[in-house]
Amino acid sequence: MKKLIWAARLRIAGPPISFAAEGAFGIESTRLDVRDRSEQRAVPQLKHDSKGLSGRHSSLPAAATGLEQEAELSQPVEAAEAVEQATQHILSAEVDKLPRVSSVMSDLYRLFRDLLRGKAGWPVIRLVLAIVVVLIGNMFGQVRLNEWNGAFFDAVEKRNSVAFLNQLAVFLVIIAVLLTLVVAQTWLQERLKIRLRERLTHTLFDVWLQPARAYQLGHVGPSGSQADQRLQEDCRLFSEFTTELGVGMLQAFLLLVSFIGVLWTLSSYASFEFEGREIVIPGYMVWVAVAYATIGSGLTWLVGRPLIRLNTERYAREADLRFAIVRVSESAESVALYSGEPDERRNLNSFLDAVLLSTRRLSGALARLTWITSGYGWLAIVVPILAAAPGYFSGRLSFGEMMMVVGAFNQVQAALRYFVDNFPKIADWRSAVLRIAGFRQAALDLDRIAAGSRRIEIRNHPKGWLSFENLSIALNDGSILIEEATAEIRTGERVLIVGASGSGKSTLFRAIAGLWPWGSGVIRTPSGNDMMFLPQRPYLPLGSLRSAICYPAGPDTFDDAAVKAALTRVHLQEFAQSLDRAERWDRSLSLGQQQRVAFARVLLHKPKWVFMDEATSALDDDNQASMLSIFEHELASTSVLSIGHRPGLERFHTRTLHIRKTAEGAILLTLPIPQAGRPWMRWLRRLRTKK
């Protein structure tokens, strides 16, 4: 059990941590064994910028616009930062140990294996087959057009007006067929882009939105970060480039197969005299085309190979800039209150400079590659004519036959030079494949990490209670170490966990929710359907206020009367007429109002267990008492485990657990609070009297 990721934690310096429940009587104590650790081992620390993207202003929460006092919000910041820092350090260290296969073919195999799996993959397969049929038809059309080319120019050379007009009529028929095929190819190609993006995005959604995975994946390092970029921009680039390059390569291959035979036959004339002997080179023009394409492709790869890395770097820096801009936009009120615009400008300038630097590097590489691609293209105009000129001037080829040779050579060249002409796009596509495959693999690797190093086991309690059995939780900076803790919370209890900032209260909250699996021991919880978690800042989804109140259920789950009754109970009745209005409610509502929306959710869902982490920190005393009284009346049978630091919260709970560092060891004290001593009961009686 001790072989978990303790290599990522520091031995705690100073007194060990204790659980203590405080009160005046009825004390039960349990001494927990915490060994003294005199030796400390240095563990590499992450460079954690506590300022974030907003410099010294980032710790300020959004200012209230309602009636509540929204002070006391900065307390959990240190704990949240410690959790984020430890999570990123441990996860990134574990993920880095896993093998990486960087081959583009292996990446594509894994991606397309998921994309084409099951019935959902059949629309993609049907579109691909339809495109193949169209491309084969286009191949025959191009061969027929090349044959027409010889007949047409022979008619021009012989000044035969009748044959000239006949060939024009044939040309119109050929072009009509080819035009139809090209339009069909374009439509099918665009449909394939849509289908690929749909399947790829849904596939990544499936691996990303697993329980707790999106939270943990954001800390595994570059491959798992910037999920918005991976799921939106990279999916778009992958679907578009994969379709365009795949169709283009298939078309080039079919043209190569069809025209290489034509070119081989037409170049059978080629013979050279050497020391009085005639030397015949079968397929002379084919070898010229292959040699020319090989030289061009080799130079293109040599000069353009850095584009893959530079494109990957550019997209990463673009994502950083976009995130920084969104972060400032989301925190605009806090920035304005601190007059932090100059500091934000400096931060954004640094992100912009990184984007411009990567773009300048990319532009230089593209310019160097253009020397090869453009020069190759210009020379390709005269190379087939120069190669076929000896046959024409010797009389072995007519003018029309020479034009057929040139046309066939150009088709073979177009197929062979596809790599040269499209290398910048190939490099861009390869970087998109790398990012998407890395993101997908990082998400899947989390399961392997959990299987190999996860120590905190989450099990269902047979009686529907909550219990900790020899529970240990570790962070990597030595600021907190909860070890070998054992406690039990029964149905109907209301328990408060208190402690100094950064002592691990929120870490324990996340461990109960299954977000923080690193440690040892067992947490036995009620059924997942019976629990609801209320963080300090509730999540409000995009859409209507009704959707936000009913979350995570759908907006139609509860009837209108129940939703309005819940709003009235949490003193938000003024929003009853705005239930179906869609806007950014996380911006328009103050934090105190958002916290009351969370209590409205509790009223609607009626969970048997509620876990709160500073869930009333932005409420004034009256509103806090009103919200907590829900568990005395509407949800009297609901069990509550809350985390808080505000003085006086103990009086709203039946028991208090105190996480405290002492020189005596870890002690768990249990203290019931007398029923008659609850001030909030007196507050309720006064409220009824006023009414």
Q: Long-range CB contacts (< 8 A, 24+ apart) of 96-105?
A: 96/221, 98/445, 98/448, 98/449, 100/441, 102/434, 104/430, 104/433
Nearest in space to 12 (alpha carbons), one of 504, 478, 476, 662:
478
36-40, 540-544, 579-583 — which is least confidently predicted? 36-40
Say which residue, 270 or 117, is predicted with more confidence: 117
Q: Whole-prediction pTM value? A: 0.59
pLDDT band at 298 (very low <50, low <70, confident <90, very high): confident
pLDDT at residue 574 in the model: 93
Q: What would the pLDDT profile of 573-596 be if each residue is shown by its tens digit? A: 999 999 999 888 988 899 999 999
> Which CATH entry fits the domain spanning 28-39+76-88+454-690: 3.40.50.150, 3.40.1590.10, 1.20.1510.10, 3.40.50.300?
3.40.50.300
Nearest in space to 533 (alpha carbons), one of 547, 518, 516:
516
Distance from C-alpha of 6 to C-alpha of 206, rounded to nearest angstrom? 31
Mean pLDDT along residues 225-232: 78
Mean pLDDT along residues 188-214: 87
Element (H, E) at 456: none
Q: What would the pLDDT profile of 624-647 be if each residue is shown by its tens digit? A: 989 998 998 899 899 999 988 777
Q: Are 193 and 239 in contact (CB under 8 A)?
A: yes
| pLDDT greater than 50 at residue 282 | yes
Residue 670, Cα to own-chain centre: how many angstroms? 44
- Mean pLDDT (the chain) is 75
Mean pLDDT along residues 24-34: 34
Q: What would the pLDDT profile of 149-182 be if each residue is shown by its tens digit? A: 878 888 887 888 888 888 889 999 999 999 999 9
- DSSP states of 3-38 as a string? -SGGGGSPPPPSSPEEEE---SS--EEEEE------
- Which residues are CB-neighbours of 165 under 8 A, at least 6 positions away? none
pLDDT band at 451 (very low <50, low <70, confident <90, very high): low
Q: Are 430 and 103 in contact (CB under 8 A)?
A: no
| pLDDT greater than 70 at residue 271 | no
| pLDDT greater than 50 at residue 60 | no
Mean pLDDT along residues 58-80: 38
pLDDT at residue 562 in the model: 94
| pLDDT greater than 80 at residue 597 | yes
| pLDDT greater than 50 at residue 430 | yes
| pLDDT greater than 50 at residue 6 | no
- Which residues are CB-neighbours of 618 under 8 A, at least 6 positions away? 64, 68, 69, 70, 73, 590, 591, 592, 594, 595
Q: What would the pLDDT profile of 467-497 be if each residue is shown by its tens digit? A: 888 887 776 444 445 666 778 889 989 998 8
Q: What would the pLDDT profile of 343-367 be if each residue is shown by its tens digit? A: 888 888 999 999 999 889 988 888 8
- Which residues are CB-neighbours of 666 under 8 A, at least 6 positions away? 16, 17, 18, 19, 31, 32, 33, 34, 483, 484, 485
pLDDT at residue 654 in the model: 84
| pLDDT greater than 80 at residue 34 | no
Cis geometry, peptide bond prior to residue 552 (ω within 30 degrees of 0): yes
- 270: tokens are 């080629």
User: How do the domains of the chain map onto residue ranges?
Assistant: 28-39+76-88+454-690, 104-451
| pLDDT greater than 50 at residue 304 | yes
pLDDT at residue 559 in the model: 92
Side chain identity at 552, as an amino acid letter? P
| pLDDT greater than 80 at residue 57 | no
Distance from C-alpha of 380 to C-alpha of 253, rounded to nearest angstrom? 19
Q: Where are the beta strands (DSSP E) in 40-177?
A: none
Distance from C-alpha of 363 to C-alpha of 377, rounded to nearest angstrom? 20
Mean pLDDT along residues 504-529: 84
Residue with tokens 């120069």, as numbered in its chain = 386
| CATH code assigned to 104-451 | 1.20.1560.10
Q: Are 465 and 488 in contact (CB under 8 A)?
A: yes
| pLDDT greater than 80 at residue 396 | no
Distance from C-alpha of 237 to C-alpha of 229, rounded to nearest angstrom? 11
| pLDDT greater than 90 at residue 604 | yes
The percent of residues in the chain predicted with pLDDT above 70, rounded, is: 74
Distance from C-alpha of 98 to C-alpha of 169, rounded to nearest angstrom? 65
pLDDT at residue 106 in the model: 82
Say which DSSP state 45 is in.
P
pLDDT band at 268 (very low <50, low <70, confident <90, very high): low
Mean pLDDT along residues 411-421: 78
pLDDT at residue 183 in the model: 93
